[in-house]
Amino acid sequence: MSRLELKHVYLSFGGVKAVQDFSMQAEEGQIIGIIGPNGAGKTTIFNVISGIYTADSGQIFLDGEEITQLAQHRIALKGISRTFQNIRLFHGLNCLENVQTTLDASSKYNLLDAILMTPRRRKEEKRTRQRALSELEWVGLGEYVLENPENLSYGLQRKLEIARALAADPKVLLLDEPAAGLNPKEVQELMKLILRIRDERGITILLIEHRLELVMTVSERIYVQDFGETIAIGTPAEVQNNPEVIKAYLGEEE
């Protein structure tokens, strides 16, 4: 039984076939890369997995349990977290609070506790706060706890988004172009962080990325998408030498 399995997933928007017959398996602690030109349907695959869109047909399984039709917050609670291509942090909430929002779903106090400021609220707030703090320190944001995300550099905002996703203790982490807009040094740091997530926490990672130096280094297996279809699957070395892939990336020769 695979950690995450997609079977023949299709999704169209009107006449546009965004995802056609996409199947994949990811095991515990694997890093899977998804690459392809813009408009290849990569982010759409993430949106189908995380429940923002529901597949027209096909099935998605997490640890053998079907999650195809679940609402997005249910899928998040089942153990799939994600980051976004265009960073989507909550402005007006500091770094700590951004991470805490993920933990609040599991925080065991109710509205009455919140209004009456009961010890239960205090205890649970302390717990989520501690946990959020330790996630921030784990990704290396220990000194920016009370800073608002809009004041952080791009690289740090990426880390914060990852910390927020990790706070949910996910089984699967979907990273949508985490290296976009980062400088070479930040890409190196991100690479280390991604490997640590796999090695120290055993989380399965799906990685959409245009920066080939990153995706080729960390991925165990790569899916190459073009116009909604999978045109190649293989190890980084296999994919790089695949004529179909070269054609999709460099265009057809005259």
Q: What are the residues binding other proteins (CB under 8 A)?
A: 50, 52, 72-73, 76-77, 82, 84, 88, 90-93, 97, 100-102, 104-105, 107, 109, 111, 114-115, 117, 121, 124-125, 128, 164, 168
Of the two residues 16 and 52, which places its CB atom closer to other proteins in the complex?
52
- Residue 212's nearest CA partner among 242, 244, 237 is 237
Nearest to 146 by CA among 132, 131, 167: 132
* Smallest separation (angstroms) from other proteins to the CB of 112: 11
Burial grade of 17 (CB within 10 A; 0-12, 13-18, 19 or more):
middle
- DSSP assignment letter at 35: E
Q: Quote the CA–CA distance of 243 and 254 in Å, as a whole number.
A: 15
Residues 225 and 36 sit within 8 Å (Cβ to Cβ): yes
Q: Least Å distance between CB 51 and other proteins? A: 8
76 or 214, CB closer to other proteins?
Answer: 76
CB-nearer residue toward other proteins: 111 or 250? 111
CB nearer to other proteins: pick between 59 and 107: 107
Closest CB 246 distance from other proteins, rounded Å: 36
Cβ 111 to other proteins shortest distance, Å: 6
How far apart are CB 103 and other proteins at their closest, in Å? 8
- Rounded to 5 degrees, φ, ψ at 166 are -70, -25
The two tokens of residue 73 are 């917050």
Q: How far apart are CA 239 and CA 221, in angstroms?
A: 9
Nearer residue to other proteins within complex by CB, 21 or 104: 104
Report the 3 state secondary structure along 210-229: CCHHHHHHHCCEEEEEECCE
